[in-house]
Amino acid sequence: MSTASPEPKPEDPALRALVEAWTDRPPEEMAAFTRGLQSAAPEPEGLLGAETSALERVRVLAAVSGAIHPRDLVPEQWDPAQRSELLAAVAAEFDRAVVRGRMLWTQRSLPRRLTLESLRDSTGDALRDAVAEAQSIATDGAGEVLRGLLSRLFDASHQPGWPMLSGEAPLPSDLVANASAADVAQALLWASSLVDVGTGLAWSASRAHVASIRSSYEGLLAHGVVGREDIQAVLERFVDMPIELNGPMQLLTVVGPGGTGKSTLLGELVFRRQVSSPPSASEPAIIVMDLDRVAFRPNTEAELGYEVTRQLAFAWPELAQSLSDAREAETRARLGRREIATGSSPDIENSIRSYSSFEARVRTVIDGSARANQPVILVLDTFEEWQRARPYVGPRSSWNDPEPVMADWLSRLHYGMGLRGLRAIVSGRAAFSAMPGRALELGDLEAPAAAELLVRLGVAEAVAPRLAQLVGGNPLSLHVAARFFGKLGLRHREEFLSSEGIDAALNEELRRALLYDRFLKHIPDQRVRRLAHPGLALRRVTPGLVREVLAEPCGFKNLTEGDAEALVDSLADEVWLVRRAPDGSLHHQPEVRRTMLSQMAQDPRQRDKIRAIHERAAAWYNPRPSLSDETTPDAIEAFYHRMMLETGDPPVVQGAWQAEAAKKRQHDERFVRELGESVREMAPKVEAQLRLLRGDEITRYQASLLPADLWHEHVRTQGAALLQVGDAAGAVELFRSREWDRYQGGPTWLAQAYCEAARWNEYAAETAGMSLRWERYDCVNRLVSENATLRDEMSTTRSFGGSDREGAFTMTFMAALARAATGKSLHELHEPLFDISIPPQPQFPVDQLRQYLVHRLTGAPLGSRPNSAIVVADIAGLFVPDPQVMRGFMPLLPDASEELLRIADELEGLAERGRRTSSGDGRAPRTHDLLGNYSSDVAERLRGKSRLFDSQLNANALRALRGDNPELRPAIRYELFRVRPNNGWLKTLGELAIEVLPIPPVDLQPDSLPLMTDPTARTWLVTLVDYVDRSRCTHEFLREVQQRHPQPAQLDTIVNAFSNWSDAHSALLLRPELRGLAK
C-alpha cells in the first residue's frame, strides 16, 4: 500500500495540536471560515475552470480508491481556501469515518458507479490512467483490491481482459492473497457496475466462510488434540473412504460424556480440512451444523435444506447462483401454494411436499455439475442439545420418535437431493441409533496422553505424570487442574502431589467435585481459601460483596475496604477458579462452580452458611425489591439469590388470574429470562416452575413437581407442541397422566388431539363434565364416533356462531352435516353469525368449498357485501389430481371454464403416462410435481378467474364440492402405521393406492417405496395418505386396505369412522335444499 508524504508540522506541541484539530474540522465549516477571512480578497484568475477540472479529478481518484484522507484528493499547490471550497463541493458524495484518529472519506455508491462507467466509456485508457495516478494515494485494503481489479479488467479494445471468475479462473491470487474476504467482497461490489461479479462474490463468500470456521476453532484447538490418534485415524478414513454411488449413506457417531473433547476432536478435523476455498475435486465439501445453535424441529425440513444449500454454495461457489435460484423458486412456489402465510404453523404435509419439490430442484443443479459425485461431510455437533430440547414426552414409537425424523432428513439429503457422496458425523453424549453406522466412544485419556496434555497446558514434564494420576483422564478436569497447579507454590505443589488419588470407581461428576474440593483446600493463601469455598455461592465477586456479604459467613471480622480489595486481587490469581470480567468483577469458572454447588447443597456443614450468603447477597444487591424493578445487573443478581433461597413450597410462580399475581408473574418472567441456565442451580421444584414460566420445555419428572394450576398450564402448552409435531397420541397421554380439574375447562387442543389419535369413541366419556366449547374437532369427533347420541345432540343446533367469518361458516357447515346425517331438515339452518371486525383465519383450503355450501343452504353472503361473489383465495389447495373433478369445477368457476377444460385434458395425459411408466422413468408424474409445482401453475393460470357463482350443480360439480378430509388424515396415518402387519406394509399400501388413483404417481409404486424400518417410511406414509385424500379416493382406499390386511378387524375403527364422515357428506350433497340443484 502506498503512503502519502506527511505535511510539515509545527514544532510547538500546542500549535501542532491546533493544526491537527483544524485539519479534521468538517470541510463546510473550514470553507465558511476561510470565506469570512478572505471576503475582500480578489478571486484568482481562472479559478472556475480549474475548479471544474479539479472536481472531476477528485471524483475519479475517489472512484478508484477505497477510504482515503480528503486532503490527498486536492492539488497540493492550491491554497487552503481553494482546497476547502473544493472539498466542500463534493462532501455530500462521501461517507466519512474516523479510523485510528484520522478522518477518512469513502465515495458513495451512486457517484462511484457514474464515475466508473464514464471512465469505461471514454476514449483512450482513462480507467488505467486513473488507477495509475491513484497509486500514490494511501487507501485501505478494499481500495487496493479495487485498483488491482480495475488495472487489469479491460484490455486496449475495452473488452474484458481476463475471465471474471469462473470455476477455472478465480480472482488473481496476487490481488487477494493478503486481503480479507470482506475487502475482496467490497471491491467486487464497487466493480459490479463494470462487469458481472456474481461468481466473484460467491468465491469471496466461500473464502470468508472458511476463514470464519477456522477462526471459530482456533481457541478450541489452542493446545491441539492429544491421545486420540486412533479416533483421528478412524475419522480420516471415514472422510476419505471411496464413494459408493448406489450404496447407503455412511454414518459415524462420536459419543462421550461432557468434557471428553468431542467438539475439539471434530474441530481439529474441520480445521485441518478447511484449508482451501473452494475445495479441490478430491477434497470433501464440509457442512457444519452445531445443534446448540441451529434449531432442528420436525416439519422444518425445507428450511434445513435451505441451510445445507447455503453451506454448499460456500464450498462450491460456481453453483452458488443456481442454488440461490432454487431456494428463491421454491419460496415463490410455497407462497403461491399459501404454505408460508402469515400466522401459519409448520404442517407435516406441506413441509414434506415442499421439501420434496426443493430436493428435486437442487438435484437438477447438482446432477448437471462437476460436483455430482464429490464427497460431502455433514458434521452435526452437540447432538445432545437437540435430544434435550425435543418436545416429545415419554417413550415414543418410531412413528414420532425424533431420531427417526432426523434419520429421515439425512436419508433424503442423500437420495432426494442427490448428494451421493454424503456421509454424516454426529457428535453427542448419547448414541444416534436410528441409522446403521459405526460408533466411536470417547472415554478418559490414557495416563501418558493425560500427562502430555498437562505439559501442553504448562505443567512441567517431571510432575505431569503424577498430576495426571491424581486428576484422572477427563480433558476438562485436566484443563482445570493445569490452571490450578500453575498457581501453587513449590511447597504446596509437593504437598498436593503427595496426596492420594481419587477412587476411579466413583461417577465422573462426584470425582470432579472431590477433585475441585481438593483444589480449594490447596489454595496457598489461607484467607483466600476461607473466602473461595462458600464464595462459590455467588456468581460474581467484588470487594463490596466481600465486605458486606461474604465477610461474616466466612469468618472475617473488621474487614476494611483495602482488605477486601486485596482479597479479591489474590482470588483473581486462582485462574482455575475465577476469571476477570470487563467490569473488573470476578466470575467463577462455570465448570467448577456448577460442580461444586451440587456438592455444597448436599453438605449439612455448608447449608446454613450458603443460605446466609444468599440472604445477604439478595439484600445487598436490592434491599427494597419492587415488582416495577428494571432488569438491571444488580436487580437480576438479587432475584437469582432470592430464588436460590426458595424450595418451591409454596410455589414461586402463581397463576395470573388476580391483578397482583399477574403483575408478579410478569416481573418474574422478565427476570428469569435473564438467568439463562443458572436455573439449574435451584431447588428442583423452583427450577421446574421457572422453566415453565419462561417457556422452556420441561421433562416429565419436572412436570410431576408442578403444582396443579401450573401443571394445567404445562399441559396446555406442551400438548399444543406435541400436536404441532404430529404426536397427538402423546398429547392425549399427557392429558391423561394426572387428574384434570374438570372446572378448569379442557385445553383448546384437546378435541383435535383425540381426533388425530383416532380416539373419537373415548372423547365424549373422558371429557364429560368439562366446559368445552363446540369447535371444529369437537364436531368431527361427534360425527365420526360410534355414539349416535352425540350426532343427535349436534343436529338439534340450527346454527353455530363464531368469532370470525371462516369459523362461523365452518361450524354452520358441521351443523348441516349433523342434520343431514340424522335426516333432519336443512331449511331450519340459520345464517352464521360472526364479528366482521375480526380478520378471517382460514385453516384448510377445503373450508372455501364448505363456506360456499353454507351460502347455498342459508343465503349467507360470502363477500363483504350482501350480493358480492366469493373469490377463491387458495386455488392450489383445491387442486385435485383428477380430470373429472377439475371439470366439475367448471359450473362453479365459469370465468375459468376454458382453462379448467385445458387443465383436465392435461391431467388425462398425465394419467395415461402414469399408468404406463415404471418407477425408473424420470419424466413420469410424481406426487410433489402434481400437488406442488403443477398446483402452483394451476393457481397462476386461474388468477383473476376464481369467482364462485351460484349455478346448477351436476354430478361432477357435487363431487368437486365434496372436498378432501384434512381433519382425518392424521388419524388415518396413525392407524395405518399402528396396524402394520409386516415390514413391507408400505409397499402394499402403495400397490393398493395405485389401483384406485386416477393419476398414479410413479413415486407411490411399490418398487419406489421403502420398507417400514427405513428412516424415510414416515415421510412416505404421510405423502401417500395426503395424495390419496387430495385425489378424493380415501373411502375406496381404506376399504381395499381392510380387505388386504391379515386381521381386517384391526382397521374397523378408522374405516367405520371415515364411513360415518363420508356418509354425512353424501347425505348433505344429495339434499334438495341445496338451491339450484340439478335433477
pLDDT digits (tens, 9 = 90+) for 567-612: 999 888 888 788 888 888 999 887 788 778 877 777 777 788 889 9
Q: What percent of the chain has pLDDT over 70?
A: 79
From residue 81, alpha-carbon distances to 5, 16, 900 in Å are: 21, 20, 76
Q: Is there a contact between 919 and 1002 (Cβ–Cβ < 8 Å)? A: yes
More confident residue, 932 or 999: 999
∠ CA(322), CA(326), CA(331), 5° rounding?
A: 150
> pTM for the full model?
0.71
Peptide bond into 1046 cis (omega under 30): no
> What Rg value do the Cα atoms of the chain yield, rounded?
36
Pairwise CA distance, residues 353 & 305, whole Å: 13
More confident residue, 463 or 834: 463
Residues 251, 394, single domain; the answer is yes
Residues 132, 193, single domain; the answer is yes
Pairwise CA distance, residues 276 & 253, whole Å: 26
Q: Is there a contact between 45 and 57 (Cβ–Cβ < 8 Å)? A: no
More confident residue, 771 or 986: 986
Residues 304, 405, single domain; the answer is yes
Pairwise CA distance, residues 1055 & 1060, whole Å: 9
Q: Is there a contact between 187 and 163 (Cβ–Cβ < 8 Å)? A: no
Confidence of residue 751 (pLDDT cuts 50, 70, 90): very high
Q: What are phi and psi of 67, to 5 degrees?
A: -80, 135
> Which pLDDT does position 1021 carry in this prediction?
94
Pairwise CA distance, residues 443 & 280, whole Å: 35
CATH number of the domain that 583 lies in? 1.10.10
Asked whether residue 712 is domain-assigned, the answer is: no
Task: Spell out the residues 6+ positions from residue 1039 whose beta carbon is closer than 8 angstroms to its own.
Answer: 1055
Characterize the bridge pairing of strands 870-871 and 947-948.
antiparallel
More confident residue, 26 or 815: 815
Q: Is residue 542 predicted with pLDDT exceeding 90?
A: yes
Tell me what percent of the chain is helix, strand and coil, each rounded to the nearest 5.
55, 5, 40
Q: Where a domain ends, among 416, 441, 466?
A: 441
Question: 71-80, 298-307, 1062-1071: lowest mean pLDDT where?
Answer: 298-307
Helix intervals (H) in 705-804: 708-724, 728-736, 750-756, 760-766, 776-784, 788-795
Residues 140, 177, single domain; the answer is yes
> Which pLDDT does position 555 carry in this prediction?
87
Q: Show the domain range for 460.
A: 444-500
Q: What mean pLDDT is predicted for residues 963-973? A: 95
> Which pLDDT does position 1079 carry in this prediction?
31
Asked whether residue 978 is domain-assigned, the answer is: no
Asked whether residue 713 is domain-assigned, the answer is: no
Residues 401, 539, single domain; the answer is no
> Which pLDDT does position 863 carry in this prediction?
59
From residue 65, alpha-carbon distances to 134, 149, 178, 416, 519 in Å are: 7, 11, 17, 47, 59
Residues 553, 410, single domain; the answer is no
> Which pLDDT does position 148 carry in this prediction?
84
Peptide bond into 278 cis (omega under 30): yes
Q: Where a domain ends, among 585, 619, 653?
A: 619
Question: Helix 80-90 vs helix 47-63: angle between axes, to the nearest 10 degrees?
Answer: 60
From residue 475, alpha-carbon distances to 235, 486, 498, 857, 980 in Å are: 20, 16, 22, 74, 48
Residues 142, 193, single domain; the answer is yes
Asked whether residue 717 is domain-assigned, the answer is: no
Question: Helix 728-736 vs helix 708-724: angle between axes, to the nearest 10 degrees?
Answer: 170
C-alpha cell of 704? 410431576
Pairwise CA distance, residues 521 & 515, whole Å: 10
Q: Is residue 167 predicted with pLDDT exceeding 70?
A: no
Q: What percent of the chain has pLDDT over 90?
A: 27
Residue with cell 450468603: 613
Q: Write the Ramachandran bin of 443: left for phi over 0, alpha for psi from -120 to 50, otherwise beta.
A: beta
pLDDT digits (tens, 9 = 90+) for 98-149: 777 788 899 998 899 899 988 888 877 888 888 888 998 999 988 998 888 8
Asked whether residue 1064 is domain-assigned, the answer is: no
Q: What mean pLDDT is predicted for residues 682-695? A: 91
Confidence of residue 541 (pLDDT cuts 50, 70, 90): very high
- Cα atoms found within 13 Å of the Cα of residue 112, Cβ hemisphere only: 24
Confidence of residue 760 (pLDDT cuts 50, 70, 90): very high
Q: Is there a contact between 772 and 804 (Cβ–Cβ < 8 Å)? A: no
> Which pLDDT does position 19 carry in this prediction?
58
Residues 402, 260, single domain; the answer is yes
pLDDT digits (tens, 9 = 90+) for 777-788: 999 999 999 888
Task: Spell out the residues 6+ positions from residue 782 whose beta carbon is closer than 8 angstroms to its own.
Answer: 764, 790, 791, 793, 794, 818
Q: Is there a contact between 298 and 391 (Cβ–Cβ < 8 Å)? A: no
Pairwise CA distance, residues 114 & 125, whole Å: 17
Total count of domains within the chain: 4
Confidence of residue 837 (pLDDT cuts 50, 70, 90): low
Q: Is there a contact between 685 and 679 (Cβ–Cβ < 8 Å)? A: no
pLDDT digits (tens, 9 = 90+) for 467-493: 888 888 888 788 888 888 887 778 778
Pairwise CA distance, residues 208 & 332, whole Å: 29
Asked whether residue 340 is domain-assigned, the answer is: yes
Q: Is there a contact between 486 and 458 (Cβ–Cβ < 8 Å)? A: yes
> Which pLDDT does position 506 carry in this prediction?
46
pLDDT digits (tens, 9 = 90+) for 212-226: 666 666 666 777 888
Pairwise CA distance, residues 820 & 813, whole Å: 10
Residue with cell 360472526: 834
Residues 104, 120, single domain; the answer is yes
More confident residue, 555 or 167: 555
Residues 417, 289, single domain; the answer is yes
Q: Give the type of residue at 419.
A: L
Asked whether residue 750 is domain-assigned, the answer is: no
Pairwise CA distance, residues 544 & 528, whole Å: 16
Residues 276, 371, single domain; the answer is yes
Q: What mean pLDDT is predicted for residues 5-26? A: 52
Q: Is residue 462 predicted with pLDDT exceeding 70?
A: yes
Residues 104, 242, single domain; the answer is no
Q: Give the type of residue at 820.
A: A
Q: Which of 321-335, 753-767, 962-976 has the highest mean pLDDT?
A: 962-976
Pairwise CA distance, residues 855 & 274, whole Å: 64
> Which pLDDT does position 270 carry in this prediction?
79
Asked whether residue 420 is domain-assigned, the answer is: yes
Q: Is there a contact between 992 and 1037 (Cβ–Cβ < 8 Å)? A: yes
Q: What mean pLDDT is predicted for residues 164-184? A: 62
C-alpha cell of 598? 451440587
Q: Is residue 652 predicted with pLDDT exceeding 60?
A: yes
Q: Write the burial class of residue 951 (CB in 10 Å: 0-12 exposed, 13-18 middle, 19+ buried).
A: middle
Question: 110-119, 166-175, 694-703: lowest mean pLDDT where?
Answer: 166-175
Residue with cell 385453516: 843
Q: Where a domain ends, among 591, 619, 647?
A: 619
Pairwise CA distance, residues 485 & 478, whole Å: 10
